[in-house]
Amino acid sequence: MTMISPDQRPQGAERRLEKGSETPTAKRSRRVWGRPDLYTSYRQDMAMLNTRPKQLGVLAIVVVAALLPFVTSDDLLKILGTGLVLSIGAIGLNILVGYAGQVSLGHAFFVGVGAYAASALAGDPEGRYLGFGVDIVPVWILGGGIAAAVAGALVAPIATRLRGLYLAIVTLGLVVIGGYIFTEWRDLSGGAQVGRDAPQPVFLGSELTIDGAYTQEQKLYWLFLVVLVISAVLARNIARSRVGRALAAVRDRDVAAGVMGVELGRYKLIAFVLSSFFAGVCGLLLFVANGVFGPERFTLLLSVQFIAMVLIGGVATVSGSIMGAMLIALLPRISAELPSFLPFITSAANEHPNIFEVEIAIYGSLIVIFLLFEPRGLFGIWVRIRTYWKSFPFSY
Amino acid sequence: MTSAVEAPVGGAHAASREPVLKVEDVQLKFGQVTAIDGVSFDVLPDELFAVIGPNGAGKTSIFNVISGVYRPQKGRLTLDGKRLDGARPAAIARRGVARTFQNIELFANLTVIDNLMLGRHQHIRYGTLAAMAWLGRARKQELLHRRAVEEIVDFLGLAAWRAMPVGLLPYGVQKRVELGRALAMEPRLLLLDEPVAGMNLEETEDMARFISDIRGELGVSMIMVEHDMGLVMDLADRVMVLDFGVPVTTGTPAEVQRDPRVVAAYLGGDLDTVPDAPSADATPSEIAAEAEQVQP
């Protein structure tokens, strides 16, 4: 992790370095044997996973995640799949709230726009609801994302006028307006309490929503995992780029950002567009994961859930967004397991206290506990563990 | 302090050249309160132009007008012969105006390197989609500009802190990072708002060296607002004195020191009732000492 400039490098390391890298301007300098953490080029320093443990760790997580469907029951896999999808939305919200510092309660609206745009694109032109019959999966996934991004671009100008709490309230209005449109536009959404069918993903001739050699849950889980990995990589790239720095500058000091040459309006627009794009993709996959989805799902509660994922996971981190989303997605399952440990909790909905009440209570307490004790979220806890083991056995 | 800095070089022979910045009769009002009025000056190439005056004299307001944060009600600003007033801050930054702030305005959660890279924001050329893909162009640009930023790190001796979030750095270092961020913009004109405010003697001397190095090696025109009279008198080619938003006088440090109106401005008196105006050979530190007694 340590970055040492050439003029500061200790003698021994200098000699070894010269052996390691013949040309200082070489595109990829070789690592010095036994000193894996010494960077010899800016390229290494700027890499997304800039240490060997990070590379191996992420590889291990992705491999385990990819193999999970072989050892996990289908109902748990469905929950995990939903978690993967929610992660995409959480990453999107984190770009807007965490990186760019624009508090938005309107995330559910963009999630809904993505969901309905994609199902309209993929829908049967002869069917009961609006449909254009596009059956190429990447096209309607991108289409849903782009539709949400356009909605984001239309909303963004508000953010150039308002900030903080005021922006949060205005975006809250967006959810209300969206809820009305989704419920009343029956051609698109199927109407309240009814809902339309989700688009059917067909990939390489295999219907992902029909059990074949692999079950529906397994196939969908893999689809979601692939989209999440792509989303996470894109988001990390944005975060470390010129755009990510400009977003952080707008968040930290907007006056100074302007004086540095960062166009405030432009970058707030970019933040909204990127965030809504991820929200849209999340929405349409959420639709696919659930099969049927009524318009009453895209409400303030969903927005608040996304805010909770970002806060619990870790503000302005991609990995934190994923951790937060997975935790929120697993929460119903965790509370469903509770009656076997705590006999006074019942799983019957008409008795109290039941698991549904407990779930909401856990959910609220998590937000309070994290804001009070670990504002950096799960990511902060992870950083603390990492730092502890880095200096083990020395506690300071 | 005095011995640390060489005599100014830019002023004498710069007089014949076209000014970099021309400020003509600028007025700025907030409602009925006049912040600055009738301010005119120009800054020549390589010149270090200082603006001094008691607290609330409108020094920082001049900076905010030049960098586009405030729009003046009256007057004209031209940079290299082209109008500057009315443009947005980001557009003015692209024209080559960089500044530091009186109360540090760094991006506290970002590392030193990222703060300096933000200074280069306008020079780094790739779009959002290229950023998402992080292939060819984006990566090449980032590497190229990282190299440029590292030169500034070396120039200002920031190597030890480069990967630290600036919010965790000591005050003196933060001031230096802010100077670095302004330099990373490769400015034509650099506005320094109290670069040594709150610094101890060593830090002040370091900063004075950096400022004279910037002029010597990079040839950037500078406007400096500063309360440290010793620093101003040693470094500046010309000094403008402001009082209640109105220019009192403009001239070389020696001329300004002798001007009784300047002393009146600092002591807060009427010129006629100033009991003993300083003699012509009063040292800057004497004037500064007197001035400090009046200021809170």
B90 touches A: beta carbon within 8 Å: yes
Question: Which 8-state DSSP code applies to residue A3?
Answer: -
What is the arithmetic mean of pLDDT over A53-78? Answer: 93
B11 and B158 share one domain: no
Task: Kindly tell me if the per-residue pLDDT of B273 is higher than 80.
Answer: no
Q: Where are the domains of chain A?
A: 6-40, 74-315, 334-396
Whether A241 and B159 lie within 8 Å, measured CB to CB: no
B209 and B63 share one domain: yes
Q: What is the pLDDT of residue B263?
A: 83
Residue B202 in any domain: the answer is: yes
B191 and B79 share one domain: yes
Task: Kindly tell me if the per-residue pLDDT of B272 is higher than 70.
Answer: no
Residue B285 in any domain: the answer is: no
B177 touches A: beta carbon within 8 Å: no
Q: Which residues in chain A touch residue B134, judged by CB atoms under 8 angstroms apart?
A: 48, 237, 240-241
Listed in sequence order, the residues at least 6 apart from A147 whose beta carbon sits closer than 8 Å to its beta carbon are A113, A114, A117, A118, A280
Distance to chain B for A355, nearest Cα, Å = 40
In chain A, the residue whose alpha carbon lies closest to the alpha carbon of B96 is A261
B163 touches A: beta carbon within 8 Å: yes
Question: Within a 10 A sphere around the Cβ of A121, how many other Cβ atoms?
Answer: 23
Residue B287 in any domain: the answer is: no
Whether A242 and B131 lie within 8 Å, measured CB to CB: yes
B162 touches A: beta carbon within 8 Å: yes
For residue range B169-199, what is the model confidence (pLDDT) as tens digits? 999 999 999 999 999 999 999 999 999 998 9
Using a pLDDT cut of 70, give the percent of chain B over it.
Answer: 85
Task: Kindly tell me if the per-residue pLDDT of B149 is higher than 80.
Answer: yes
Which domain, by its residues, includes B134? 109-186
What is the arithmetic mean of pLDDT over A104-109? Answer: 95
- Please tell me the distance from the alpha carbon of residue B75 to that of residue B64, in angstroms, as a whole number: 14
Q: Which residues in chain B touch residue A271, judged by CB atoms under 8 angstroms apart?
A: none
Q: Which residues in chain B touch residue A248, judged by CB atoms under 8 angstroms apart?
A: 107, 109-110, 114
Question: Within a 10 A sphere around the Cβ of A249, how many other Cβ atoms?
Answer: 28
Residue B270 in any domain: the answer is: no
Residue B281 in any domain: the answer is: no
Listed in sequence order, the residues at least 6 apart from A194 whose beta carbon sits closer than 8 Å to its beta carbon are A294
Task: Kindly tell me if the per-residue pLDDT of B120 is higher than 60.
Answer: yes
Residue B289 in any domain: the answer is: no
User: Do residues B25 and B40 lie in contact, with contact meaning Cβ atoms separated by under 8 Å?
Assistant: yes
Q: Which residues in chain A touch residue B88, judged by CB atoms under 8 angstroms apart?
A: 258, 263
In chain A, the residue whose alpha carbon lies closest to the alpha carbon of B149 is A42
B222 and B237 share one domain: yes
What is the arithmetic mean of pLDDT over A42-60? Answer: 87
Q: What is the pLDDT of residue B7?
A: 43
Task: Kindly tell me if the per-residue pLDDT of A83 is higher than 50.
Answer: yes
B16 and B137 share one domain: no
Q: What is the DSSP string of B67-124?
A: TTSS--SEEEEEETTEE-TT--HHHHHHTTEEE--SS----TTSBHHHHHHHHTTTT-
B128 and B152 share one domain: yes
Question: What is the ipTM for the molecules in this complex?
Answer: 0.82
Strands (E), A240-332: 292-293
Name the amino acid, one letter, at A388.
Answer: Y
B101 touches A: beta carbon within 8 Å: yes
B11 and B87 share one domain: yes
Whether B69 and A255 lie within 8 Å, measured CB to CB: yes
What's the total number of domains in chain B?
2
B105 touches A: beta carbon within 8 Å: yes
B64 and B126 share one domain: no
Cα of first residue to Cα of last residue in chain A, in angstroms, is: 17
Residue B243 in any domain: the answer is: yes
Facing residue for A242 by CB, picked from B67, B89, B121: B121
For residue range B68-114, what is the model confidence (pLDDT) as tens digits? 999 999 999 999 989 998 899 999 999 999 999 999 999 999 999 99
Task: Kindly tell me if the per-residue pLDDT of A91 is higher than 50.
Answer: yes
A230 touches B: beta carbon within 8 Å: no
A315 touches B: beta carbon within 8 Å: no
B121 touches A: beta carbon within 8 Å: yes
Q: What is the DSSP string of A32-88?
A: BTTBTT---SHHHHHSSS-SHHHHHHHHHHHHHHHHGGGTS-HHHHHHHHHHHHHHH
Residue B120 in any domain: the answer is: yes
Q: What is the pLDDT of residue A355?
A: 85
